[in-house]
Amino acid sequence: MKAENSFIFLPGIGEKTEKNYWKSGYTHWDHLKDSGKLNESKRELLERAERNLEVENTVFFKDKMPSNTLWRIYENFTDKVCFFDIETTGLSPERNKTTTVSFYRNGKSKTLIRGQDLTRERLEKEFFESKILVSFNGKRFDAPFLEKNFELDIQTPHIDLMYLYKRIGLTGGLKNIEKQLNVNRELEDIDGREAVRLWKKYEKNGDTEALQKLVRYNQYDAENLKDLMEIAVQRLERKVYRPHLK
């Protein structure tokens, strides 16, 4: 499913009306635009959506679409989606520090490390270059933590997989959901507490091996989000969209 299959951002069109359009064969913006069913203001907004999609302005869709439907634009921007995850010294952004931040975009991983290249400017650059952010529990934890630690204002559209998987019926932490879906990961012996210990070994003793292990763990968290995102999109499409097609 892509952005062009959605009409829910148009005023007065909710889930029920949208489903009725799909059932009637209106499955693309072009179908509805040429149907005579839209008044002037709705047609104008649809044309604005086309222009914003063409110039890859994902903020337009963040502002117009209900947040729980933003996953629908994922397939329009797969090579510019940024999967990200952070490691910290604790759970409080007021008392604790961000240690590493990993980004996975277009098949490549990058990790910023505290005391080396983890700065406000580098974070702003990474987020600015991304059309969509994907995290797991990042709306409640990762993004606010970074905003507090680095005085950021993250405006990039953000899809949180934790909420998508609740819609699918899978709950629990990231690793629990990975196991349920048979998504493999290395370094299974590391969890959040061990990640804190690894950072302390590096910070206090200069243990570069501990840092390398922490970075790889952080990268696995970010990289596995891609598989989880694609599974979620496929399942939501089968649940939300496919049953209503002719």
- How does DSSP classify residue 165? H
Q: What is the pLDDT of residue 187?
A: 64
Q: What is the pLDDT of residue 188?
A: 62
User: Greatest CA separation found in the chain?
Assistant: 70
Token couple for 245: 């097609």
Q: What is the pLDDT of residue 193?
A: 87
**Residue 132 and residue 81 in contact, taking contact as beta carbons nearer than 8 Å:** yes
Q: What average pLDDT does range 37-44 have in this prediction?
A: 93
Q: How far apart are CA 54 and CA 30, in angstroms?
A: 14
pTM for the structure as a whole: 0.94
Q: What is the pLDDT of residue 190?
A: 75
Helix axes 143-150, 120-128, angle to 10 degrees: 140
- How does DSSP classify residue 246? -
The phi, psi pair for 63, rounded to 5°, reads: -75, -30
pLDDT in tens, 183-225: 887 666 677 889 999 999 999 999 999 999 999 999 999 999 9
How confident is the prediction for the chain on average, in pLDDT? 95
Where do the domains of the chain lie, and which CATH numbers do they carry?
3-55 (1.10.150), 78-233 (3.30.420.10)
The burial class, CB within 10 Å (0-12 / 13-18 / 19+), for 224 is: buried
Token couple for 11: 């005023």
pLDDT in tens, 59-112: 999 999 999 999 999 999 999 999 999 999 999 999 999 999 999 999 999 999
